Amino acid sequence: MSHHLFSPVALGKLPLVNRIAIAPMCEYSAEDGNATDWHMIHLGHLALSGAGLLTVEATAVEPGGRITPADVGLWNDDNEQALGRVVQAIRRYSPIKLGLQLAHAGRKASSQAPWKGGQQLPVAEGGWICDAPSAIPHGKDEVPPHALDKDGLARIRQAFADSARRAARLGFDTVQVHSAHGYLLHQFLSPLSNQRTDEYGGSLENRLRFPLEVFDAVRAAFPADKAVGVRVSASDWVEGGWDVAQTLVYAQALKQHGLDYIDVSSGGLSTAQKIPLSPGYQVPFAEEIKRQTGLPTMAVGLITEPRHADEIIASGQADVVSLARGILYDPRWPWHAAAELGHNVQAPPQYWRSQPRELKDLFADASFGGR
């Protein structure tokens, strides 16, 4: 019997019953930033999966920070009320820990949904001029973004803090600051997208400055007894871009600023990236960051098989495995992993009769189901 993947863990101030997390996955199904019935269905069924943590998709801190016009947001009272309805339903029926990813898309904002091609949305068709560290577009045929001035930086810092306060009111167990996948904070980190000549550009110390200011604003706004994490792209996968050595400096600085855990991904900044995809291809990044910093670390990226996930935990490469597309394809992945690894998993009593006869001890009493 393996107990690695299903052993409890603490990500700083965030206790989890097992090492399985559900990654934030954009659904592009909101209305004016408001979560809809789709989010109730989508997040509701994932909340019954038996995972230890469910993180809500990249949630824009201001309208201009949305990847698409249909992104979830948390910048006003209507957004808060709509998302609160979803949170309340999950809390009634599931003990899963809930996280929220706070995000600003920067120059990758104002885009079509992926199933509509994902291209930049023109202003005439409902798009907008994006904000970024420098007036460098993501794609060569895109409209250049607006380079943020001091007032713009202050506005966005405040927006992150305000959204963190709203997340606290909604009762989220953790918030995660999104500084990965080529979005705004990653754009400040990478020399490929940040060519400023002020104190926010040039040297590594300067490029770290705004992401650290945003983290500090979020940390100050979110309850001190709750965890704040950060998602990073450990590499741009482009020569001369952001890399793991710089990520380690960033991670150490975040640790000094009170970071509870780090979620390690990669890529997303440049259309020139060349990523050698294979199962667990990003795990070495997580392992290196965990080894060098001692931070609680989450690993992501083509981790689909239970034994592979268990080996990542058993070998100490990461503290938590985070699932995305794999758990969309198999929303009961934790159940099936528990069956394969000889463990049990939390499940709602309404579903207990579903366990196969030969797995009569698969489901643990989670003491929930309509309280």
Active site residues: 183
**What CA–CA distance (Å, rounded) separates 230 from 12?**
12
Contact in structure between 233 and 250 (CB atoms under 8 Å): no
Handedness of CA 249, 253, 259, 260 (dihedral sign): positive
Helix (H) or strand (E) holding 237, with range, is: none
Contact in structure between 145 and 132 (CB atoms under 8 Å): yes
Looking at residue 102, what DSSP letter applies? E
Q: How far is CA 76 from the centre of its chain?
A: 21
Please list the alpha-helical segments (H only) found in 171-236: 184-189, 204-221
**What CA–CA distance (Å, rounded) separates 212 from 199?**
13
**Residue 109 to residues 60, 66, 69, 369, Cα–Cα distance (Å):** 10, 5, 9, 39
- Rounded to a whole number of angstroms, the distance between the first and last alpha carbons of the chain is 33
Q: Could you tell me which residues come within 8 angstroms of residue 357 by beta carbon, excluding any fewer than 6 positions away?
A: none
The candidate with the shortest Cα–Cα distance to 109, out of 154, 151, 145, 162, is: 145
Pull the structure tokens for residue 107.
Answer: 């120059």
Q: Could you tell me which residues come within 8 angstroms of residue 353 by beta carbon, excluding any fewer than 6 positions away?
A: none
- β-pairing, 261-265 with 227-233? parallel
| 322 CB-contact burial (10 Å; exposed 0-12 / middle 13-18 / buried 19+) | buried
Contact in structure between 104 and 21 (CB atoms under 8 Å): no
Q: What is the DSSP string of 49-96?
A: S--SEEEEEEEESSGGG-SSTT--B-SSHHHHHHHHHHHHHHHHH---
